[in-house]
Amino acid sequence: MRHRRSRRARREALFAWLLGAPVILWLGATLVYPLVASMIYSVENIRIIGSPGAFVGLSNYVAILTDPDFWMAFLRSLIWVVGNSVAQVFLAFISALILAQAFPGVRIARIWIILTWIVPTIVIVIVWRWLLSTSGGMINPLLMELGIIDSPIGFFSTSVSAMATLVLINSWRWFPFIAVMLLAGIQRIPGDLYEAATVDGVSGFQQFRHITMPLLQPTIFVLTIIGTLLSFNVFDIVWLLTGGGPADATTTLPILIYRTAFKGYRLSEAAAMSVVATVVLMGFALLAVRTLAPSREDK
């Protein structure tokens, strides 16, 4: 009996590996292998993609780590990530609390709030370039009508406003995604907790503070970590709206890596930057995976 059961388990395991094999091979070839290749590139001196370079040890790392441009981009990425997290979680929280209520049309609202997330980034780029433009556009006339500004402002023309505008646009795109996840967290809180609290005369705000907030904390934590990684990766919105400018003010790490590789043709330096970024991000990711993966009990 024991022998038969273990044979069955072994066959099940074999079948499972067989089903998983295509995914493992696919991701191995297109993620793991390139990552290893990146590490190799980073200790070589490659000028043309596809042709091997000479081994140069850690000199590429020395070059980038002593380059102020790299550290500035690193710092901007940090600002970018933190700014996005704050704006997204704030907007998402309000939305999730509203969508958790019962009102006519709530089911439709819960689905279509995700609209800004499913629309291609190129559309978002066109939309906001036009809305914020100084000729035509909608935002400048609106702000002038409201008396907030006197003459049209160029949202992308100064360093601070360019960064802030990009953060807001990217957050506008991503907050519904976070909101939907938060909503799921809110809906998982047992309703009888609130009922009991209401019977005990606890006010709505106190219920929010002592029931909703503590029980949502794990969800918020996970979303913040995922949000951090996903924000870091954002390339297209920044590249297509400002190209990293004005005067490099929005050159985050992905922009710098792209420019170093495909405009400056310093491929090995770009690879070294990629490796450094990966190491930093994987530190975060390890944390995220610990909380995301199914815990042992429920498997």
Partner 1 sequence: MRRGIVGNLLLAGGLGFIAVIVLLPFWWVISSSIKQTSEIISITPTMVPHSFTLAHFDKLLRSSDFPRFLANSLIVAAGAMAITVVLAALAGYAFFRLKFPGQGLLYRLILVGYAFPGIVVLVPLYGMMSAAHLIDSLLALIIIDVTFALPFAIWMMRAFLVAVPSEVEEAARLDGASHMTVLTRIIVPMIAPGLASVAIFAFVSSWTEYLFASVLIQSDAHKTLPVGLAGIIGQYQVDWGLMLAGATLTTVPVVILFAFIGRYFVTGLTTGAVK
- Give the list of residues 6+ apart from residue 54 with CB closer than 8 angstroms, or none: 44, 45
Q: Which is nearer to partner 1, 15 or 71 (CB)?
A: 15
Which CA distances in Å does 73 have to 5, 48, 117, 164, 245?
57, 25, 26, 16, 12
Q: Which is nearer to partner 1, 58 or 126 (CB)?
A: 126
Distance of CA 288 to the CA centre of its chain: 13
In the complex, the smallest distance separating the C-beta of residue 206 from partner 1, rounded to whole angstroms, is 14
Identity (one letter) of the amino acid at 255? I
Q: Are 161 and 155 in contact (CB under 8 A)?
A: yes
Q: Which of 277, 227, 281 lies closest to 117 in space, CA to CA?
A: 227
d(CA 59, CA 156): 36
In the complex, the smallest distance separating the C-beta of residue 239 from partner 1, rounded to whole angstroms, is 8
d(CA 114, CA 36): 36
In the complex, the smallest distance separating the C-beta of residue 82 from partner 1, rounded to whole angstroms, is 17
Q: Which is nearer to partner 1, 50 or 147 (CB)?
A: 50
Q: Which is nearer to partner 1, 123 or 149 (CB)?
A: 123
In the complex, the smallest distance separating the C-beta of residue 27 from partner 1, rounded to whole angstroms, is 6
Q: Which of 9, 179, 4, 193 lies closest to 91 in space, CA to CA?
A: 179
Q: Which is nearer to partner 1, 34 or 57 (CB)?
A: 34
In the complex, the smallest distance separating the C-beta of residue 120 from partner 1, rounded to whole angstroms, is 4
* Burial class of 152 by CB neighbour count within 10 A (0 to 12, 13 to 18, 19+): middle
Q: Which is nearer to partner 1, 137 or 245 (CB)?
A: 137
In the complex, the smallest distance separating the C-beta of residue 57 from partner 1, rounded to whole angstroms, is 19
Number of Cβ atoms within 10 Å of the Cβ of 177 = 20
For 252, phi and psi rounded to 5 degrees?
-85, 175
In the complex, the smallest distance separating the C-beta of residue 161 from partner 1, rounded to whole angstroms, is 19
- Give the three-class secondary structure for 212: helix
Q: Which is nearer to partner 1, 79 or 143 (CB)?
A: 143
In the complex, the smallest distance separating the C-beta of residue 142 from partner 1, rounded to whole angstroms, is 8
On the question of a cis peptide bond just before residue 190, with omega within 30 degrees of 0, the verdict is no
Q: Which is nearer to partner 1, 55 or 262 (CB)?
A: 262
- Dihedral angle at the C-alpha atoms of 217, 218, 223, 226, nearest 10 degrees? 140
